Each structure stands twice: as structure tokens, then as C-alpha cells.
Amino acid sequence: MKPVSIMASVLWVACMAGMAGARADAEPQAATSAPAAITLAPVASQPLPDDPGTLLTAVVVNMAPKARTTSHRHGGMVFVYVLEGSVRSQLNGGEIVEYRAGDSWSEPPGTVHSLMENPSGTAPARLLATLITPADAELTTYD
């Protein structure tokens, strides 16, 4: 198996565990509190050469219509780009903002992502999430 394929497999396990608020060695759990599905597709995971111990992780987040996460935070800096559809997002209990395809936002380390949902009853939403985290950090922790 090529190193990239191994890394993609490791990333998939880490992302699924991270979305459930656990480490990669734990049993995967549901990613949302609602019956609507959220799935993750790993894109890349790679150590940053100029910053030992830091990992760049990219994952496509697929949100079914009406999918919603509970309040959570990430283990580092996050940049999100909306590939398709729209999502409503609320950071640190602030204003709820709707982002559409082509829009983006960032979340500094420690930001509480109070709300993340696909408001559409019919159309899916797809996001590209890029995280810069310590290599041993949980990608996502639910409050």
C-alpha cells in the first residue's frame, strides 16, 4: 500500500472518531444528534514540514438535507469552504450566518461551533474543511 493510501485510511478513522468526540482507537459513533446523515470523505492528511508535530488535514463533509451537528469545537485552526448547497453556522453563540456555495469562514482554535446545519429540506450540502492541528489532537470534540 502506498504511503498516501495508508495516510488516507488513518485520516478516515481519525475523522470518524473525531466527529464522535473520541480518539482514533475508540469505536466510531454517530456524527450528529439528528437522524439526518453527515458523512466524511478524507482528502489529505500530512505533517507540516516547517512545523514538526503539526498536521494539515482536509476532509469533505457531506450533509444530507436537514442534517445538523451539536455544539462542538476542533483541535486547532479550521478553514471551511462551501462546495455545494448552503449551511447555517454559529460560532461562540454569535450571529447565525448562512453560507452558500463559494463562501468560506474560519474558526480560530478553541472556537465553539454552536450550530452547523443544512437548512434545506431537499438539497445536500458539501463542505471542504481544512484543519491545522497538533498531530495528537482530537479533530472534533462535542460539548
pLDDT of 28 over the 60 cut:
no
User: What is the pLDDT averaged over residues 94-100?
Assistant: 98
Split into its structural domains, the chain has a count of 1
Q: State the residue range of the domain holding 79.
A: 3-142
- % of the chain at pLDDT higher than 70: 75
pLDDT of 39 over the 50 cut:
yes
Buried b (16+ CB within 10 A) or exposed e, 18-53: bbbbbebeeeeeebbeeebebebebeebeeeeeeee
pLDDT of 20 over the 50 cut:
no
CATH number for 90: 2.60.120.10
- % of the chain at pLDDT higher than 90: 69
By CB atoms closer than 10 A (0-12, 13-18, 19+), residue 15 is: buried
pTM for the full predicted model: 0.75
